[in-house]
Amino acid sequence: MSSAVNKLPALQSTLFSELPPATVGGPISVAQVGRPAPILPSPTSSHRQQVGQVGTKEAAPTVTVIGRVHGQERPDRASEQLLFRGFNADIGGNFTKALGDYGKAAEALQGEIIERHRPLLSAAGVDLAWFKGNADLLALHRALRDSGILDVDPEAKTTLKKLLNRTGLALKHQADQHGAPEDYANALRYCQKAIEVDPSYGAAHYNEACIMLKLGRTGPALASLATAIQDSSFDFKKQAREKDVDWNVLRLDNASFRQLVGLSVTSTESR
């Protein structure tokens, strides 16, 4: 292990493999990493977003992997393959590479959408040249939402929500290293967009909760955690109670948190 890694504080983060049985799972526009995405023109105007490069490579913290990873199974769509690759980069601590792969996954998803839904995009007034050339994930979300494609294409909906959530999580991992509040705020936006795509998406609610806690928003963090716990696809209660270091600040003496995750609450704490 390099000296740079040895100097890092002990970090743990959560990473969810929220994948359907046949898949495993990458730049958002890498120009967007670490700062809010720009306000883009509406899909009816012609626009191409220039994609930059991020050259830094972070040393790897310890990452706790949550959920089942389906071994050697590989997805059959390019967007899901790139999600898989980004997932592996994230759990390996290379968050810049993960974000790059997620951005490439967004580009692949664009191509898949054009192939399947060109008439819907045209009917919604989406400029196909702009759509194909724009690598910004938040703009992609808006185009798929406004065109109605998310209502008729469950595969696209699933891929998009995972892309948004995992992008937010990778940005959180970067913020864990650098600690800038604006980086956490940027990460939060992506998780919240994933929730907009699927309000029952427990992984995104959980990651939203962890990011809100980093921003000092304890009440909203606990509310998001409570929502995540309602998702039976994973034991988020146990994760917060026993494993995730993000919750260490509340685990010992916050009665609301302890009650929420099933820890005993003393009479002194409950008063």
The residue that leads in pLDDT, 244 or 267, is 244
Region 245-254 average pLDDT: 93
Position 33 scores a pLDDT of 36
From the list 102, 96, 53, the residue with the least C-alpha distance to 82 is 102
Position 93 scores a pLDDT of 92
- Which of helix, strand or coil describes residue 218? helix
Counting Cβ atoms within 10 Å, is residue 266 exposed (0-12), middle (13-18) or buried (19+)? exposed
Mean pLDDT of the chain: 75
Position 9 scores a pLDDT of 33
From the list 135, 56, 69, 62, the residue with the least C-alpha distance to 92 is 62
Is residue 47 scored above 80 in pLDDT? no
Is residue 259 scored above 50 in pLDDT? yes
Q: What is the pTM of this model?
A: 0.72
Is residue 4 scored above 50 in pLDDT? no
Q: State which amino acid sits at residue 130.
A: W
pLDDT band at 76 (very low <50, low <70, confident <90, very high): confident
The string of pLDDT tens digits covering residues 107-145 is 999 989 988 998 988 888 888 877 776 668 998 899 899
The string of pLDDT tens digits covering residues 166-213 is 999 999 999 999 878 899 999 999 999 999 999 999 999 999 999 999
Counting Cβ atoms within 10 Å, is residue 243 exposed (0-12), middle (13-18) or buried (19+)? middle
The mean-pLDDT minimum among 38-47, 112-121, 210-219 falls in: 38-47
The full set of domain ranges for the chain reads 3-178, 199-263
Percent of the chain with pLDDT over 90: 52
DSSP 155-202: HHHHHHHHHHHHHHHHHHHHHHHH--HHHHHHHHHHHHHHHHH-TT-H
Residue with tokens 């809100």: 212
Is residue 49 scored above 80 in pLDDT? no
Position 18 scores a pLDDT of 46
pLDDT band at 217 (very low <50, low <70, confident <90, very high): very high
Q: Which two tokens stand for residue 239?
A: 């994760």
Tally of CB atoms within 10 A around 70: 17
Distance of alpha carbon 169 from alpha carbon 163, whole angstroms: 10
